[in-house]
Amino acid sequence: MNSNIFKKRRLIPDSTLDLHGYSLYSAKLILNKYLINCYEKNIRNVLIITGKGQSNKGVLKEEVPKWLNDNALREFLIGYCIAPRNFGGEGALILRIKNKYKKHN
C-alpha cells in the first residue's frame, strides 16, 4: 500500500472508527461497511483505532492491515500508514480513501 502520500502532507482525519473490543469477525464486517460508506460519502481521510493489545501484539493491530490489503478493500484506498502519535500512534492507522468522483485505474 502506498504510504508516500502521508510524507507530503499531514492528514487530519475526517472520520474515526474505533474497533476496540470487537471480535475479529465483527471488526472485519464493520470495517468493510465503514470504508465503503466513507467512499460513497467521499470522506477521504479516516482514522482506524485498533489498539495496541498486550505487549504491542494486539490481534486487531495485526489483522487490520492484512484486511486493508485484500482486493475487496484495496479498490477504495489510496494508502494507509501508522497514525501520528497525536492520533493514536501504533494503536491506530490513518487511511486515505479514493475520491469517488475521480476516474481510477
Binned at pLDDT 50, 70 and 90, residue 104 comes out as low
Q: At residue 47, does pLDDT exceed 90?
A: yes
Q: Which amino acid is located at 57 in the chain?
A: K
Provide, rounded to the nearest whole percent, the portion of the chain with pLDDT above 90: 66
- Residue 9: the pLDDT is 59
Mean pLDDT of 37-65: 92
Q: At residue 7, does pLDDT exceed 60?
A: no
